[in-house]
Each structure stands twice: as structure tokens, then as C-alpha cells.
């Protein structure tokens, strides 16, 4: 059986635990740094670029942002890397050579909605 002193100590410990739960824990939760999409201003996007026509080879990709800006990246070895502003949607246009490289054309590479919580993203393009 617990002594009177032990009962008082248990009571004090319980009261302190309640105080910590009520006052300290919520403050810690509110003051903890939050990782949000807005905290990552740019995302490094990379991937492969393929064209389906016989004898075609991707040369470059235009990233047309929903804010009206266009960024062009070179395709090298069938791959690209672009540093794009986060929180935007991009339409992609692939420029490619045909045959012996004497003629060029373009195709719709689709769209990319870039709302990322990571600073890098893998995205392959095909058209």
C-alpha cells in the first residue's frame, strides 16, 4: 500500500503531466517548422525525351508556364534537366529533327503541373 507521501507525489506528477499536455504540447505543435509547397521556389525536373517517328531525335523542350514565360532546355543523350518555378503548370513542346537532321518539327509533349514538396522531380516526355 502506498504511503501518504507517495500518494501526494503521484498527485503532483499527474497534475504536472496534465499541465504539460494542456499548455506545452500545443505550443510545440504550433512552433514546429512546417514544410509547405510554397517553401520550395524552384524544382529541378529531369527525365528522358522520346519521339515516336522513325529516324527522329529530340533536340530541345520548351516549357511554357501558365504565367506566360517560356524556358527552353536542350536535350542531350535523350535526356533533359530544367530548373522550373514551383506552383505553376507548364505546357511542353518538343522540337526534334527528322531523317538526317535536315528538317525539324515539333510535337506536343503534354503538360506538367508542378506543385511539388520536393526540390527534384523525374518526368519523362514522349510525343
Q: Can you give the residue ranges of every domain in the chain?
A: 1-32, 37-126
Render pLDDT for 13-33 as a digit per residue (tens, 0 to 9).
Answer: 555 555 555 665 556 555 544
pLDDT of residue 77 exceeding 80, the answer is: yes
The helix (H) or strand (E) run that includes residue 16 is helix 4-19
d(CA 40, CA 36): 7
The helix (H) or strand (E) run that includes residue 91 is strand 88-98
Q: Supply the pLDDT for residue 54.
A: 86
Q: Supply the pLDDT for residue 101.
A: 73
Architecture of domain 37-126 in CATH? Sandwich (2.60)
Render pLDDT for 92-124 as a digit per residue (tens, 0 to 9).
Answer: 999 999 977 778 999 999 999 999 999 999 999
H-helix segments, 20-69? 25-31
Average pLDDT value for residue range 3-16 = 56
pLDDT of residue 47 exceeding 60, the answer is: yes
**pLDDT class of 37 with cuts at 50, 70, 90:** very low
**pLDDT class of 65 with cuts at 50, 70, 90:** very high
Bridge partners (DSSP) of residue 114 are 88
b/e map 3-26, b = 16+ CB within 10 Å: eeeeeeeeeeeeeeeeeeeeeeee
The β-bridge relationship of strands 88-98 and 79-85 is unpaired
Amino acid at each position: 500500500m502506498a504511503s501518504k507521501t507517495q500518494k501526494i507525489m503521484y498527485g503532483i506528477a499527474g497534475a504536472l503531466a496534465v499541465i504539460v499536455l494542456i499548455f506545452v504540447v500545443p505550443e510545440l505543435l504550433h512552433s514546429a517548422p512546417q514544410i509547405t509547397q510554397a517553401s520550395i521556389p524552384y524544382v529541378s525536373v529531369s527525365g528522358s525525351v522520346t519521339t515516336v517517328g522513325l529516324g527522329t531525335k529530340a533536340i530541345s523542350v520548351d516549357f511554357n508556364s501558365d504565367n506566360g514565360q517560356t524556358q527552353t532546355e536542350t536535350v542531350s543523350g535523350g535526356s533533359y534537366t530544367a530548373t522550373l518555378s514551383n506552383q505553376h503548370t507548364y505546357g511542353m513542346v518538343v522540337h526534334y529533327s527528322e531523317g538526317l537532321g535536315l528538317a525539324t518539327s515539333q510535337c506536343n509533349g503534354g503538360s506538367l503541373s508542378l506543385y511539388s514538396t520536393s526540390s527534384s522531380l523525374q518526368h519523362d516526355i514522349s510525343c
